[in-house]
Structure 1
Amino acid sequence: METRLSDHGLVRIGVVSPEHRVADIAFNCEKIRQAVSANGDCRLFLLPELCVTAYSCGDLFFQSLLIEQAQQALFELAEFSADKELTLVVGAPVAQGGRLFNCAAFISCGRILGLVPKTFLPNTQEFYEERWFSSAGDRTADFLEWRGETIPFGPDLLFRAEELPDCVIGIEICEDGWVASPPSGQMAVNGATVLLNLSASPELLGKEAYRRNLVQANSARCLAAYVYASAGPGESSTDLVFSGHSLIAENGAVLAETERFQFESQTIMADVDIERLVNERVKNNSFGASRSDAGYRFIGFSLPDTGAVPLLRPVPATPFVPVAAEERAERCHEIFEIQTTGLAKRLRHVNCSRVVIGISGGLDSTLALLVTVKAFDKLGYDRSGIEAITMPGFGTTGRTRTNAERLAELLGVTLRVISIDAAVRQHFVDLGHDETVHDIIYENAQARERTQLLMNISNQVGGLLIGTGDLSELALGWCTYNGDHMSMYGVNGGVPKTLVQYLVCWCAEAEFAGETADILIDVCETPVSPELLPPHENGEIKQRTEDKVGPYLLHDFFLYHCVRLQYRPAKILFLAQQVFAGQFSDAELRRWLQTFYRRFFAQQFKRSCLPDGPKVGSVVLSPRGDWRMPSDACVALWLKDLEQLEATSGEC
C-alpha cells in the first residue's frame, strides 16, 4: 500500500524561478510549462512576480497588447494545469476599472480560481511601481468577468485544499512581505498555513542573507510555511540584476533554496508539514489570542496527492544534535552555560559552597561532574568543596571505576570511595532475598543504597546533592524511584542521552585538555550501563541498557516527535522508516516505538516528582514546566494506532 503525503499531514510544494525574457510571453509560458512538467511528483507550484511578462517591462505595461496577451497566457496555463492536475500560482498584470494591477493568478486543474492584487507598491530608489500599477485597495470590484467566467478578485482570498483542509494558502506579492505589518499575519490568524510570496527582488550586496532572514522570520512569526519565488537573471539588466533566489521555509527553518544567478530554470521542492504547523498553533496560546477584523473569502481547490518516498524535507536522525560540527559546538557551549549557570544560581541562593555528587565513570555522572566543576569556577569556589563519591558494587567494572577516580583526582575535587557490597548484602538478609537471584530487587537495592549514602553525606557536609539522570532516562523511566531518580538539583534533566555524549566530547575538546580529555573520550566510548549486574568473566560490562530498553538513538527520535511535535505513532513510524532505512528494519522500529510508548506512559509517576533542574531545549519533562501529564493516563489509544498500521501493512 502506497503511503501518501496527505496521510501524514504533508503537502509537496515546488518553487520555480524560470528562464524568461522581458515581454516575451510565449517564451516565458513555455519555460514555465517545461519546468513544471520536469517535476511530475509535485502538484503545487509557485512562480515569481509578473513572471508571465517579466517584472522589468517598464512602460511596456501601458501597451494594451501586452496586457491582453498576458490574460490569454493565463487561460493557456489553465488548460495546461487541467491536463497535469496541477495548481499554479503565477504573476501577471491585470486590468480592471481603468487601472492596472500587479496580480497573482491562482490556477488549478483547468480554472483560474482567483486573482490577488498586490497591496504595497514600492516607489523609492530603484522601484517606481506606482507609475504603472494601482494598489489592491484601489480596485472597484471583487470579481472579474473573463470569457464568461466570474473570477474572485482581491487581497482577501484564501485557498483551501479539499484533500487536506488544514492546507490553506494565502498570497502576498513581494513588497507586501517586507512592510511593517504584512498581510500574511492577518492571513495566518484567519487560518492560512501556507503563505506564498511572488517576488522580483533585485540583488544587492548583503541582500541574500537579509532576504533569507526575512523569509525565515515571516514563517516563524506566522507559525506557517512561507514560500518565496523570485525572478531570475532573465529580467532586464539596464540598471539592476536579479538572481532568482527562491526559498521554502517552515516555522523558522529553511527547507530548500535555489542557487542564485542561473539563467536556466531553477526548481526547488519541499514537503511542508501542515500537521506540525497546526499543532504548533494549537499549543501556542499567543497565536490563539491573536485577533483579526479582516474578512476573507475561502476558495476550495483540488490538490491531488503524490507518493511520499523519497521524503523531500530534512528529518534528522538526531533531532537534538545538529549535524554540522560548528553548529553542534555552539549548541554544546550554550547548553553547558545554561547548566552551569542554573547550578551556580542555586548555590548562590542557598549560600552553599559544598556539593555532593555520585560518580560512576558513565556519561551522565561525568557530565554532571563537569558542570559542577565549572559552576564552582564561575562562583570562585574551591573545587575541594565538591565531594565526588564513587560507590563500587556488584556490577562495577575496572574501566568505569578507574575513569571515575582518576577524573576526580585530575579535576581537583574531593574523592571518596565507598563500597556498597556489605551494606546491600545486609539489606538482602533483612529482606530475606537470595543474592543469586538477579531481579529488580537485586538491582534497585544497590541504586537506593547509593542514594541513601549520597543524601546522608550531603547532610554530613552541609552540601547540595547534584542529580545526574538525563532526559531520555526520565522519558523511559529508566531510573530507580527514590534511588538515582532523586536529588536536590538535577543538572542533566533537560539533556537527552544522544546529546550527553556530544557534550562530554565537546568538553574534552573545548574545556579540558591532556589526560582529563583522554578520560572523557574513553567515557564517551564506554557502553551505557547502570552496572547493577555482575560483569563478564573478563571484567567487561555485561548489562547494557540499550539491549533492554532499545537504542537511545531511536528513543530520542521518538521523544522529540511525540512531545515536541505531538505526532501520532503512525507518523513517527513513517518518519523513522525514512530516516533509519537500512539501519533498522520496520519490525525493529515498530517494536521499539511500542516500547517507548508503554514506558513513557507507565513511568510518568517518576516525572511527577522530579527535583528542580534547568530547561535547556524545546523538550523538557518537568511537571512544573512544559509537560503536565496524569500518571494514570491510558496508553491504549496510541498502541492501537500502531496496531492498526501493522494490520494494514500485513494486508499489502
Structure 2
Amino acid sequence: MRLALAQLNPLVGDLAGNGELILAASRQAASQGADLMLTPELSLWGYPPRDLLLRPSLIAKQGAVLNQLAASLAQELPQLAVLVGMAEPSGAAPLPNLFNAVALVEAGSWRVVARKRLLPTYDVFDEQRYFCAATGPSVLELERGGRTWRLGLTICEDLWVEEELQGHRLAGADPVAELLSSRIDLLLNLSASPFGQAKVALRQSLARRAASRLACPVVYVNQVGGNDELVFDGASFVMDASGGVDAGSGVVAGIAVVSQLASCKEQVSCWEVNGAGPAASLQVASLPTENEQLFRALVLGVADYARKCGFSSALLGLSGGIDSALVAVIAAAALGGERVQALMMPSPWSSDGSLRDAQALAGRLGLGSRTAEIAALMASFDTTLTPVLAGPPSGLSAENLQSRIRGTLLMAVANQQGQLLLSTGNKSELAVGYCTLYGDMNGGLAVIGDLYKSSVFELCAWLDSAAAGPCRRELGLPGDGELVGRTIREKPPSAELRPDQLDSDSLPDYAVLDPILKAYIEDLASTEQLIASGTPAELAERVMQLLRRAEFKRRQAPPLLKIGGRAFGSGWRMPIAAR
C-alpha cells in the first residue's frame, strides 16, 4: 500500500478553500500512485479554528464541503481514499458538542473513522472549550493491495503520552497502549503541532517510542504554515520499525526515520509499505540546523500572516539597531525586498553611524527607504505641553514622546499605503516593559516578540555566517557576504533616546537578564528559587517586579510569532491587577 503524506497550509475557517486545497493535494498523491492520503488535524478548518467552531452555519457548511470533496474524488480519483481532519457534531445539547475527528473520504461518500482522545488545554491550546474526548481507540480496516490493513488512528496529542520524554503529559487515557491488543499494521497520527525549538526531535522520539511499543511503523503528518501567532513547521515523517522484534528483549530493533518531509514547506510525498519487509521511501529531506529552522519559521510566520490577512507589502521603522535589522531581513525573505519599506526617523540624539547602518542594510536587502526627521515634531510637542506641565516634558516622558512620535508616523504611513506594520521589539524588552505603548509597540505583528535579545544576537551571527548562505539564496536574499553587518551586530544596544544612552543604563546586561527571564517565564521559577540558585536577591526581585509591572503593556501588544516554550499571548494568561 502506498500512503501519501499531505503537508498542507490551510486558511483557518475557509472550508471551501481548504476543501479545494485537499483536492489539489489528492491529485498530486494520485499521480504518485497513492492508495491513501493523510492530511493534518482539522485540515478542513485549519488549526486552530478557535471560536469559529461555535458557529452553527460553519458546522453545516462543513458537511456540504465534505460531500463535494467526496463527489470530486469519486469522479476524478476513484482509486484514492483520503483522511480529512474535521469537527464532528456529537449530538449533545450542552457545550462542548463536537469531536475533533477524522473522516475517511472514498467511493463518493465519507464517514468518521477516528476521534481524538486527549484534548490539550495547556499553553496555547484550549480544546476542551470546543470538543468532547472520545472514549475508545480508533482502528480502520482498509482493503488495499490484495490484503486487509489494520490502521491505528490517533490525532496529535494522542501520541504525547511519554512523560519522561515530554516533562509532562495530560491526565487520562494512553491511546497508544489502547491499540496494543488490536495488532495494527501501521499507526497514523494526524497533527497540527506548532513549531518550537528542538520540537522536531521530540516528536520523532515520541514516534520512535510508539513504534517500539506497537511493533509497527508510525506515520506522522503535520500541518505547515502560519496562523496568527502560531507557526506550524510540517516536518512530517515516517518512523519505520523494519528491524523486527528481538526475541530476547521484546524490543523492536532498527527503528528509524525512513521518510522525512521538508520543514516549513508545503509538500505531498509518498511512502510505500508491502507488509512483508522494509518499506520504501520515495523522498527523504534533510532537516536544517536549529538556527535555520528558527529563521525559516519566522519567515513563514510573516509571509502567511501578511498573505492570510490580505497584505501584499510591509513597513517597519529601521533604526540601525540589531532588532529592526533582523526584522528587516525576515520581512525581505518573507515578502521580497521590493515589498518592504523602511522608514528612518532620526532624532537629534540619533548617531550618524546608526543612520548609515540603516541605509546600508536597506540597500543590501533592496528595501524601499525614506527618512522623516522628528526634531521639529519633538519641538512642537514641547511647545504644546509646556503650559500644561509648567515646563517642557523631561526624563522618561520626553523619551517616550520620541517613541510615540515615531509610532504615529509609522501608523500613518502604513495606513495611507495599505501596508502591514511590523513591530521590532524583542521578548526581553517586552518582558520587562522596556518598550513604549503607542510608540515602538505599534504594529500589526511583533515579528521577534518571542525571541530574547541574546537569541537575536545569535541568529544574526548565524545569518552573517557562510553556513547561512544556501538558506539565504533559497529565500531570495543575498547569498554572500555579511547581511546584518558587523557594525550593527557589535554596537552596544541603545534606543538612542538621549545623549550616550545605552540599554544597560536601565537594565542588566542581556547576558545576565535573559537567563533570569527564562527561569521566570519558561520554568515558572519563584524569586526564592532563583536566589537559592545563586542570583543576587536584589536583582531577582527587581526583574520579577519589572515583569509584573509590564503586564498591562503586554495585554495591548500586537500578536507575536510564538517560537519558544512559553510565549506572551494566548499561552500567557496572567492578571494585570494582582500581587
TM-score using structure 2 length: 0.48
